[in-house]
Amino acid sequence: MLESLGSLTGSPWIYAVVGVSVLFDVFLPVLPSGVLVITAATAAAAGAGSTAVADAADKVAHVPREVPSLLLLMVCAAGASVLGDLFAFRLARRGGRLGRAIARSRRLTSAQERLGGALSRGGGILVVIARFAPAGRSIVSLGAGAAHRKVMEFLPWSALAGVAWTGYSTGLGYFGGQWLGASWVGTAISVLALFAAGSLAAFVIRRPEQAPAPAAAPTG
């Protein structure tokens, strides 16, 4: 699998594959969008390093001709993340069969209630945190749409979530490639760091909200 990904990262198709994967993993969280972003960013780091070494040692034959652009990779991933969020948001907002399915799901109904209150208070940071959690993006986007929140209440937080997730994922891949090299070990460590962030985010969003302490009874 890593060999296949390695050949893909040397092709311009990597941007389309990353974009499609990130776009649709709002509906299919099993898609390895994070792994793809990390692998492409690792290839970008390794390619930059290989070019410098090859120029110094005059071994151009070993230099990969196609190296993913880190900036273009981030633009594709972040843009696809926001588009996918809005697509899910719009579908849930229209109701219909999807709305009825959300109403039958306790998990989505609970998320809808929490998110609606958070967005009303301007506390949409929940959208950003949920972007890192497994299936959190799906629950938040669908929940916000089903709660009939305004687009401009949701869109800025979705954009911030997409940029934060993309920056973290590409950063893991790029700096992991710089420090550990373009090996399966470096990629595996970067992926584990992404999963660790997801586990932490899942813990935060599943934590029940603290109820306000009751006011003290007046004395005297």
pLDDT tens across 11-44, in order?
788 899 999 999 999 888 888 899 999 988 988 8
Q: Is 215 within a domain?
A: no
CB 182 within 8 A of CB 45: yes
For residue 41, give its domain range: 2-206
Q: What's the burial of 155, exposed, middle or buried (CB within 10 Å: 0-12/13-18/19+)?
A: middle
Q: Looking at the domain assignment, is residue 212 inside a domain?
A: no
Range with lowest mean pLDDT among 51-55, 80-84, 103-107, 145-149: 51-55
- In the structure encoding, which two tokens stand for residue 195, read together? 């999963």
Does the residue 218 lie in any domain?
no
pTM for the whole structure: 0.78
Q: What is the 3-state secondary structure (H, E, C) of 1-62?
A: CHHHHHHHHCCCHHHHHHHHHHHHCCCCCCCCHHHHHHHHHHHHHHHHHHHHHHHHHCCHHH
- Asked if residue 174 belongs to a domain, the reply is yes
Identify whether 187 is part of a domain.
yes
Q: What is residue 95's three-state secondary structure? A: coil
Residues contacting 76, CB < 8 A, separation 6+: 15, 18, 19, 22
- The token pair that represents 85 in the structure block: 């969020």
pLDDT confidence of residue 48: 58
214 part of a folded domain:
no
Number of folded domains that form the chain:
1
Evaluate whether residue 213 is within a structural domain: no
Report pLDDT digits (tens) over 72-105.
Answer: 999 999 999 999 999 999 888 887 666 666 656 6
Domain assignment present for 87? yes
Tell me the CB-side half-sphere exposure of residue 84, using CA atoms within 13 A.
Answer: 26
Half-sphere exposure of 78 (CA within 13 A, CB side): 22
